A and B are shown apart, each in its own frame.
Chain A
Amino acid sequence: MKIITKDIKFLLFKARKIGINNKTDLFITFILLVGVFATLTNFLNWIFFHANWEVVSRNLNLYIIGTYPKALSWRPFLWISIIILLSFTTLLKKLNYIKKRFIYICWLLIIPLGIYLLAGGINIIPISTNFWGGLSLTLILTFISIIIALPIGILLALGRQSNLLIIKKITSLYIDCMRSVPLIAILFFGQLLTPLLLPVGMEINRVIRAIFSFSIFVSAYISEDIRGGLQSVPQNQIEAAKVLGLNKYQINKFIVLPQALIIAIPALTNQAIGLLQNTSLMAILGLVELLGISRSILANPQFIGSHLEVYVWLALIYWLVCTIIALLAKKIERHFSKSLNFQGDL
């Protein structure tokens, strides 16, 4: 008996310690906890006892590489394995400066490597983008689009800050227009209308059109994030640089942009994660990236009706990939703000 009262006292003490102070607080906590607990038990129960995971296990290859030729499937697999390996070394190891340099170079090489491995070319058999699919397509769409959108975004941001009136007006018009249109409309434009914009006989394949659409869309958002960064660079630094005799181009390149970019890293990360999630919209327009391939799998007569399993599985993959990107970005941000010796609230 004594032990029990002791326990209760201990629990109350604990409760106070975790911040439950009054009755309303306790009530809200209790309700939310019951809700979370009920959902969790139901969910776990379903995962382990009711779900039929065959739709996932038997199509594992499809989710990752899509309709990529089987004999060459090692190529996308190799690429994804390298990405995973690199992510883990970046995240887990404490590295010295030189090794860090090396890892950043590796990251920069990931995109050309991905294009080379997926598309083929010199020394390996070329594979049309039509066969790309699944997670590998989702990743390459995201990576290439971001890498194209970033410089465009920087130029747009500088253009909007420029005191050349015409350039300022045109870039502002572009940014504002892009930002007021839903992404799916841009993608629709890219997939169905760009063939009408091209001269007869010229064709751009669908993956490249998708990359183009994503890039022009995201660059407008990136430019606004970078503009935020540009504005938060203290004015006195620019004055100081002018006094030192640096010209406008030099000031931008060496003083303003590096700081603006570092300040913008969290916002840019959100754009990258948002973009990765938004590649799923291509499923509506007929590409077989991760969500698209899942919808095709669900049409296989053997797997009709296994929606829940597929959605949970997809949510898990997307969540993992996005979380890894977020963690990587945090690491990079910490490194750069340290290396620049940047003081201030990031």
Chain B
Amino acid sequence: MRKLLSSIIGLTLLISGCSSSNQIGKSRLDIIKQRNQLICGVSGKIPGFSFLNTNGKYSGLDVDICKAISAAFLESPNNIQLRPLTAAERFTSLRTGEIDLLSRNTTFNLSRDSQKGNGLSFAPVVFHDGQGLMVKINSGVKDLKDLSNKSICVGSGTTTEQNINDAFEEKSLKYTPIKYQDLNQVIAGYLQGRCAAMTSDRSQLAAARSSFKNPGNHVILDNILSKEPLAPATVGNDERLADAVRWVIYALIEAEEKGITQSNINQKLDLAKDNKGMKPLRRFLGIEGDLGEKLGLANDFVVKIIKTTGNYGEIYNRNLGPNSQVYIPRGLNQISKQGGILISPPFN
């Protein structure tokens, strides 16, 4: 009996070992191309970043980043599957391979990036944010210490939860966290007067405020509790995929620096084709050299991206610009020439 049992155990080990060995060592990039579809994890519940339109489509900055990446990886930008994920399940989904890419306004920090932490690999920051607090103007709250012993509405499963705790603990103040599952519950709790303040990334606070009936009655405090660089992430031990994603984001920034937009991309392309001397532009657009191939992408991946989503500035303006439903001034998220901190390394 024991012999039988042990041989069966051995057999199962062997079978599962075999089935797994051929998958290992293969980059996720190949799997994405093979199935001709990019599976992208988004929130689906954050105005301006990813939310459900009345026509049943997700839109927002995070969604456009997914589209840009899918345009670069695959033949068509529409071969994209968006999965709404809760904050709690996002890392597990990425690590177990359920999604290829996480574009769910996720804060880039050490413990998430490191192999012994959450084991992710972060792409360049697509939105520089900072955590803030919003209060009602007539509450008279001016500073963190005015909020001592009051309740504060927080989204659970986020870095927000930890930051607010750190900020209060540092000043030895006490507060009561009221934790909700998603941002619109946090907003509802705050608006209905459950909490004296709500805390979230400042961009989200601004977005929320702009949708209020009387935005003037609310004020975002000057205290910035933390840096919140939001970036897309891929699974940690896949350098090829991480590189490809990284350079797609840089391409978006580089295109804005070079003034290449969705509307003038064809002109720029013709211009580059006609002028052999415009080396950097020719390399960037894939007419010359093999930059795309080095990443395992098509040489003209930048052209595909810009034709689909436009450059970073266009994506920003579409979702968060003055004419969008949620206006957030660009601030730090300008390219470096315009006084922001976005900059792309050279495409050489």
A and B touch in their complex, CB below 8 angstroms: yes
Query: Are B81 and A286 in contact, CB atoms less than 8 angstroms apart?
Result: no
B107 CB to closest chain A CB, in angstroms?
Answer: 19
Query: Are B19 and A200 in contact, CB atoms less than 8 angstroms apart?
Result: yes
Chain B contacts for A292, CB-based, 8 A: 84
Query: Are B92 and A299 in contact, CB atoms less than 8 angstroms apart?
Result: no
Q: Which of B313-348 contact A (CB under 8 A)?
A: 325-326
Chain B residue nearest to A202 (CB atoms) is B19
Query: Are A67 and B58 in contact, CB atoms less than 8 angstroms apart?
Result: yes
Query: Are A288 and B184 in contact, CB atoms less than 8 angstroms apart?
Result: no
Query: Are A201 and B326 in contact, CB atoms less than 8 angstroms apart?
Result: no
Query: Are A296 and B52 in contact, CB atoms less than 8 angstroms apart?
Result: yes
Most buried by A among B81, B96, B184: B184
| Tally of A-B Cβ pairs under 8 angstroms | 105
With contacts A67-B57, A293-B52, A299-B47 known, is A195 near B92, CB below 8 A? Answer: yes
Query: Are B51 and A130 in contact, CB atoms less than 8 angstroms apart?
Result: no
Query: Are B325 and A301 in contact, CB atoms less than 8 angstroms apart?
Result: yes
Chain A residue nearest to B187 (CB atoms) is A304
Query: Are A301 and B182 in contact, CB atoms less than 8 angstroms apart?
Result: no
Most buried by B among A68, A285, A295: A295
With contacts A195-B92, A286-B85 known, is A300 near B54, CB below 8 A? Answer: yes
With contacts A200-B20, A286-B86, A299-B51 known, is A305 near B45, CB below 8 A? Answer: no
Tell me, in angstroms, the Cα distance from A192 to B96 when the chains sit together: 9
Question: What 0/1 readout, one digit per residue, does chain B (174-201) give for beta carbons within 8 Å of chain A?
Answer: 0000000111100110010000000000
Chain B residue nearest to A198 (CB atoms) is B96
Residue B56 contacts which of A61, A191, A201, A304 (CB distance < 8 angstroms)?
Answer: A61
Chain A contacts for B48, CB-based, 8 A: 301
B90 CB to closest chain A CB, in angstroms?
Answer: 9
Residue B184 contacts which of A70, A128, A298 (CB distance < 8 angstroms)?
Answer: A298
Query: Are B211 and A286 in contact, CB atoms less than 8 angstroms apart?
Result: no
Query: Are B23 and A200 in contact, CB atoms less than 8 angstroms apart?
Result: yes
With contacts A195-B98, A203-B98, A284-B181 known, is A301 near B56, CB below 8 A? Answer: no
Tell me, in angstroms, the Cα distance from A307 to B192 when the chains sit together: 11
Q: Is A196 an interface residue (CB 8 A)?
A: yes
Chain B contacts for A196, CB-based, 8 A: 96
Chain B contacts for A304, CB-based, 8 A: 47, 184, 187, 208, 211-212
Query: Are B45 and A296 in contact, CB atoms less than 8 angstroms apart?
Result: yes
Chain A contacts for B325, CB-based, 8 A: 301-302
Chain B contacts for A301, CB-based, 8 A: 47-48, 51, 207, 210-211, 325-326
Residue B81 contacts which of A130, A296, A300, A307 (CB distance < 8 angstroms)?
Answer: A130
Query: Are A300 and B53 in contact, CB atoms less than 8 angstroms apart?
Result: yes
Question: What 0/1 readout, one digit per residue, does chain A (36-61) give for beta carbons within 8 Å of chain B?
Answer: 00000000000000000000001101
B contact residues, range: 35 or more
Chain B contacts for A67, CB-based, 8 A: 52, 56-58
A188 CB to closest chain B CB, in angstroms?
Answer: 9
Chain B contacts for A201, CB-based, 8 A: 19-20, 22-23
Tell me, in angstroms, the Cα distance from A288 to B96 when the chains sit together: 21
With contacts A128-B81, A203-B98, A288-B84 known, is A62 near B92, CB below 8 A? Answer: no
Q: Is A297 an interface residue (CB 8 A)?
A: yes
Chain B residue nearest to A292 (CB atoms) is B84
Chain A residue nearest to B181 (CB atoms) is A284
Chain A contacts for B4, CB-based, 8 A: none
With contacts A195-B97, A299-B47 known, is A62 near B52, CB below 8 A? Answer: yes
Chain A residue nearest to B50 (CB atoms) is A299
Q: Is B83 an interface residue (CB 8 A)?
A: yes
Q: Which of B52-66 contact A (CB under 8 A)?
A: 52-58
Q: Is A114 an interface residue (CB 8 A)?
A: no
Tell me, in angstroms, the Cα distance from A59 to B51 when the chains sit together: 13
A210 CB to closest chain B CB, in angstroms?
Answer: 13
Chain B contacts for A191, CB-based, 8 A: 89
Query: Are A296 and B44 in contact, CB atoms less than 8 angstroms apart?
Result: yes
Chain B residue nearest to A66 (CB atoms) is B56
Chain B residue nearest to A297 (CB atoms) is B52
Most buried by A among B16, B92, B98: B98
Query: Are B89 and A199 in contact, CB atoms less than 8 angstroms apart?
Result: no
Query: Are B56 and A68 in contact, CB atoms less than 8 angstroms apart?
Result: yes
Q: Which of A98-136 contact B (CB under 8 A)?
A: 128, 130
Question: What 0/1 readout, one digit per residue, does chain A (181-206) give for beta carbons within 8 Å of chain B?
Answer: 00000000001100110011111001
Tell me, in angstroms, the Cα distance from A285 to B81 when the chains sit together: 18
Question: What 0/1 readout, one digit per residue, does chain B (146-186) give for beta carbons within 8 Å of chain A?
Answer: 00000000000000000000000000000000000111100
Most buried by B among A59, A66, A299: A299
Chain A residue nearest to B90 (CB atoms) is A286
Chain A contacts for B184, CB-based, 8 A: 295, 298-299, 304
A204 CB to closest chain B CB, in angstroms?
Answer: 9
Chain A residue nearest to B81 (CB atoms) is A130
Most buried by B among A195, A200, A206, A302: A200
Chain B contacts for A305, CB-based, 8 A: 187-188, 191, 212-213
Query: Are B89 and A62 in contact, CB atoms less than 8 angstroms apart?
Result: no
Q: Which of B78-125 contact A (CB under 8 A)?
A: 81-86, 88-89, 92-93, 96-98
Chain B residue nearest to A209 (CB atoms) is B98
Query: Are A59 and B54 in contact, CB atoms less than 8 angstroms apart?
Result: yes
Chain B contacts for A297, CB-based, 8 A: 52
Tell me, in angstroms, the Cα distance from A58 to B52 when the chains sit together: 13
Query: Are A195 and B96 in contact, CB atoms less than 8 angstroms apart?
Result: yes
Tell me, in angstroms, the Cα distance from A285 to B83 when the chains sit together: 12
Tell me, in angstroms, the Cα distance from A260 to B92 when the chains sit together: 43
A75 CB to closest chain B CB, in angstroms?
Answer: 14
Q: Is B46 an interface residue (CB 8 A)?
A: yes
Q: Given A200-B19, A286-B89, 4 more contacts at CB 8 Å?
A: A128-B81, A288-B44, A298-B184, A307-B188
User: Which 4 A-B residue pairings sit nearest by Cβ, starting from the closest?
Assistant: A195-B96, A200-B20, A201-B23, A299-B45
| A-B contacts, 14 listed (Cβ < 8 Å) | A62-B56, A67-B56, A195-B93, A201-B19, A202-B19, A284-B181, A285-B86, A286-B89, A296-B84, A299-B183, A300-B51, A300-B53, A302-B325, A305-B212
- Hey, which bits of chain B sit against chain A, CB under 8 A? 16, 19-20, 22-24, 44-48, 51-58, 81-86, 88-89, 92-93, 96-98, 181-184, 187-188, 191, 207-208, 210-213, 325-326
